[in-house]
Structure 1
Amino acid sequence: MASGSNWLSGVNVVLVMAYGSLVFVLLFIFVKRQIMRFAMKSRRGPHVPVGHNAPKDLKEEIDIRLSRVQDIKYEPQLLADDDARLLQLETQGNQSCYNYLYRMKALDAIRASEIPFHSEGRHPRSLMGKNFRSYLLDLRNTSTPFKGVRKALIDTLLDGYETARYGTGGQ
């Protein structure tokens, strides 16, 4: 009986070593695969500078043009006068599901108003990146036709503007 137990313990040792080797090989393959996957992903990642292998003049031109992109401020007209969605608005009886159309019309109306959105003689543009409330209050304090406008009227306009721009339409 003693020799049978020694034989089983030898088989157990061999099996443990085989299983250990198998686990080691599988872990090695998995880790190598993950390392290669992350290495390939990082080569195409966003941290590589634009124009990395380009000549110096081309790099400078790319940087200049990319810096100009931040100065572009344009907000298009949201609804054209002949937009099909406006025709749906006039024919449908349930107006509550079309709140976004009223909001778009309100934003277009503010942009088309006589509020001077232009600066330094440029074309009219939106106040993207500026505080609309402080702009209107400054406009009231300068020598423009809006000099005597009451603050309550400006607050009403701004509440409507903020509801149209960010609100959900009071569902």
Structure 2
Amino acid sequence: MSTGGVQELSIIKVIWFIAAGVLIFFLIFLFVKRQIMRFTFKPSYTAIGHNAPKKLQMEIQRRLERVSYIKGEPKLLTGKIEEIARTTENHYYYRMKAVDAFSQFDEVLKSENVNTRGRHPSQTVRNYLLTLYPQYLQTAPADLIHHFADAYEHARHGPKVFGKQQYNKYMEMLEELILNLKVGLQENKQCEDSVQFNAISLLDTEVTFNPYSKSSKTKTSIPYNHMVSSERMQTGFRNQSKYRTRASSTEQEGLLESNQSSQRSSIAELDASMEGSGDQKLLTLGDEEKS
């Protein structure tokens, strides 16, 4: 009985082993067949703008690459949040209020300089203010910029308490920065106006007369490239700019017409003087022959 039982157990194990092998083979077969069918019916990859003009493909690629730079900073403090924040004690009300208040700086800059886009969300406030420092914030102390940037980072990311006292100090620095920004914008505008008034082109005309030839020759040179340089010295900053301007076509035409009329009058006077001298020579020759 013992030997018969062992043989039956061994046969059962072999049967289970064969069944497991068949099942595994069947599963592998199904998996391979499914993958083959997926790759067979899978459509080929076609890029966006395939068979389009090259200019259109470049524009599509440029816009796709620009997607990663599209970011926005919505207003944090809404009316509903402000009502809730005033009723209960919290630590985020003045933080959100301080972050939203920085938009006043960009609004002042955009009101005077329409071409500017303001601070990009990926750009830090410190880097943004330092880029504006040479052009618009010359009168602002460098320490003010760094202290304000530290206060902004504290309000937005700092773990320490940012309450009413810190908010009032932050707003004082922001108002001082806006005041210096307005002064810098006004100085740049005055500098541009003075350059526009002083940048006047010169017109030089040179007339050459050849008494031995039948016709006179004139040469007119118009040096319209007139260089106007303006230097401006301030504390810790020097900005030297050069502007190249030229007069309008109407002014040049008027000057050319006036010079041409003066040339004609001078030519007529020269011809008259030459004819008079010729007549005098003929008279003297006639008198000599008579004598």
TM tier relative to shorter chain: 0.5 to 0.7
In the alignment, structure 1 residue 74 sits paired with structure 2 residue 72: yes
Q: 2:237 maps to what in 1?
A: none
Q: 1:137 maps to what in 2?
A: 130
In the alignment, structure 1 residue 87 sits paired with structure 2 residue 83: yes
Q: 2:9 maps to what in 1?
A: 12
**Percent of pairs identical after alignment?**
25
In the alignment, structure 1 residue 170 sits paired with structure 2 residue 143: no
| RMSD (Å), alpha carbons | 4.1
**RCO higher in 1 or 2 (8 Å CA, sep ≥ 6)?**
1
CA distance in 2, matches of 1:87, 1:122: 37
TM-score for the superposition, normalised by structure 2: 0.40
2:52 counterpart SS class: helix
C-alpha spacing 1:107/1:166, structure 2 compared with 1 (3 Å): same
C-alpha spacing 1:33/1:68, structure 2 compared with 1 (3 Å): same
User: Structure 2: which 5+ residue stretches go unaligned?
Assistant: 163-291
C-alpha spacing 1:66/1:31, structure 2 compared with 1 (3 Å): same
Q: 1:157 maps to what in 2?
A: 148
- Residue pair 1:117, 1:126 contacting (<8 A) in 2 also: no
CA distance in 1, matches of 2:153, 2:48: 47
1:104 to 85, 96, 105: 96
Larger radius of gyration, structure 1 or 2? 2
In the alignment, structure 1 residue 22 sits paired with structure 2 residue 15: no
1:57 counterpart SS class: coil
C-alpha spacing 1:88/1:23, structure 2 compared with 1 (3 Å): same
C-alpha spacing 1:89/1:52, structure 2 compared with 1 (3 Å): same
Deviation at 1:117, TM superposition (A): 7.6
- Residue pair 1:107, 1:161 contacting (<8 A) in 2 also: yes
- Residue pair 1:77, 1:108 contacting (<8 A) in 2 also: yes
TM-score for the superposition, normalised by structure 1: 0.62
Number of aligned residues: 152
CA distance in 2, matches of 1:17, 1:116: 86
CA distance in 2, matches of 1:160, 1:64: 37
User: Structure 1: which 5+ residue stretches go unaligned?
Assistant: none
* Pairing of 1:25-44 with structure 2 (within 5 A): 25-28=22-25
Q: 2:52 maps to what in 1?
A: 57
